[in-house]
């Protein structure tokens, strides 16, 4: 058993972000997947929001610490664990990264609705929002390989699970979302091959993801 456990769900992009940070820091951890459609009692007792991820750790006095909210979990790992820092050392640059990680994080709810949409009006309205946000990010991302240039940061960890959604779908369906965003297209290729990103999901992730969309009769697959 490892000192840290990540309470997870196979498809959750927020869980992936925490797993990527753990991977970047080289920390071994246990992953405990829960069924979010039938949440176990022990999970509801531990999670104030009923959401994953949770990070379960031991305090120095031996007591259990249960952390929730992805950003908080990632910041805790950054502050408490050894390994290469994932934030810039300059406070202004750090603030900028936190803001863009938050910007990307706030896109997930709409992206999920867009990808699962079986109603054309919902799909089109979410697509318009998504493309506008992608263009904003295009104006901020470095020319590579990562958001800030050479080093992999919290912004990269925030973006990678979002990018992965589109990696699991036929290219002819997804290119429209990244039109006029050549730097993001390049960034997405780099993210996909980062070992921590690849290891953040199970081998069956793409199949599970497409099954989820099929169950919803998602327009993106039709
Ligand atoms: N703000 C939360 C969002 C986490 C979240 O939405 N998790 C989803 C799965 S991806 C969840 O647990 N949903 C269960 C529910 O809402 O009942 C965080 O960043 O940790």
> What would the pLDDT profile of 136-155 be if each residue is shown by its tens digit?
999 999 999 999 999 999 99
pLDDT single digits (tens) 154-167: 999 999 999 999 99
Q: How far is the CA of 119 from the centre of ligand 1 (A)?
A: 23
Tokens representing 50 are 């009923």
- The residues that bridge with 31 in the sheet, in sequence order, are 6
**φ and ψ at residue 90, rounded to 5 degrees:** -80, 135
> Which helix (H) or strand (E) element contains residue 8?
strand 5-8
Q: Is the dihedral of CA 39, 45, 49, 51 positive or negative?
A: negative
Query: Rounded mean pLDDT of the chain?
Result: 97
Whether 108 has a pLDDT exceeding 90, the answer reads yes
Closest residue by Cα to atom 18, ligand 1, is 69
* Integer angstrom CA distances of residue 16 from 95, 121, 143, 196: 22, 30, 25, 10
The average pLDDT across 213-221 equals 97
Distance 142 CA to ligand 1 centre (A): 30
Q: How far apart are CA 18 and CA 77, in angstroms?
A: 9
Are 159 and 105 in contact by the 8 Å Cβ rule? The answer is no
Tens digit of each residue's pLDDT (9 = 90 or more) over 23-73: 999 999 999 999 999 999 999 999 999 999 999 999 989 999 999 999 999
- Residue 1 pLDDT level (bands cut at 50, 70, 90): confident
For 167, the token pair is 């990696």
Count of CB atoms within 10 A of residue 150's CB? 8
The pLDDT-based confidence of 93 (bands split at 50, 70, 90) is: very high
What would the pLDDT profile of 157-203 be if each residue is shown by its tens digit? 999 999 999 999 999 999 999 999 999 999 999 999 999 999 999 99
Dihedrals phi, psi of 31, to nearest 5 degrees: -110, 125
CB-CB contact of 190 with 184 (8 Å)? no
Helix, strand, or coil (residue 58): strand
Determine the pLDDT at residue 10.
97
Average pLDDT of the segment spanning 69-87: 96
Is it true that domain 91-221 has CATH number 1.10.3720.10?
no
Nearest to 188 by CA among 212, 156, 210: 156
Domains 5-80 and 91-221 share a fold: no
Strands (E), 12-166: 30-33, 54-58, 64-68
**CATH 2.160.10.10 is right for the domain spanning 5-80:** no
Per-residue pLDDT, 2: 80
CB-count exposure of residue 46 (10 Å: 0-12, 13-18, 19+):
middle
* Region 70-93 average pLDDT: 96
Name 17's Cβ contacts closer than 8 Å, sequence gap at least 6.
70, 74, 105, 157, 158, 160, 161, 200
Ligand 1 atom 13, closest CA: 51
Q: How far is the CA of 204 from the centre of ligand 1 (A)?
A: 21
How many angstroms does the Cα of residue 51 sit away from the middle of ligand 1? 4
**Domains of the chain by residue range:** 5-80, 91-221
Instruction: Return the percentage of the chain with pLDDT > 90, whole number.
Output: 98
User: What is the C-alpha separation between 160 and 158, in angstroms, rounded?
Assistant: 6
């Amino acid at each position: 058993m490892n000192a840290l456990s990540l309470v997870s769900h196979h498809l959750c992009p927020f869980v992936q972000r925490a797993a990527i940070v753990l991977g970047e820091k080289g920390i071994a951890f246990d992953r405990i997947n829960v069924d979010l459609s039938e949440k176990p009692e022990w999970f509801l007792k531990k999670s104030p929001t009923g959401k994953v991820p949770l990070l379960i750790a031991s305090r120095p006095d031996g007591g259990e610490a249960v952390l929730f909210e992805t950003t908080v979990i990632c910041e805790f790992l950054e502050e408490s664990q050894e390994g290469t820092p994932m934030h810039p050392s300059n406070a202004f640059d750090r603030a900028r990264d936190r803001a863009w990680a938050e910007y990307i994080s706030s896109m997930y709810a709409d992206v999920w609705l867009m990808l699962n949409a079986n109603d054309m009006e919902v799909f089109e309205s979410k697509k318009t929002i998504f493309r506008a946000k992608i263009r904003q990010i295009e104006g901020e991302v470095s020319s590579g390989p990562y958001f800030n240039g050479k080093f992999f940061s919290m912004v990269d960890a925030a973006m990678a699970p979002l990018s992965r959604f589109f990696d699991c779908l036929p290219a002819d369906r997804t290119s429209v979302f990244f039109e006029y965003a050549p730097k993001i297209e390049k960034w997405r290729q780099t993210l996909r091959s980062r070992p921590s990103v690849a290891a953040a999901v199970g081998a069956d992730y793409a199949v599970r993801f497409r099954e989820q969309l099929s169950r919803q009769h998602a327009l993106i697959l039709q």
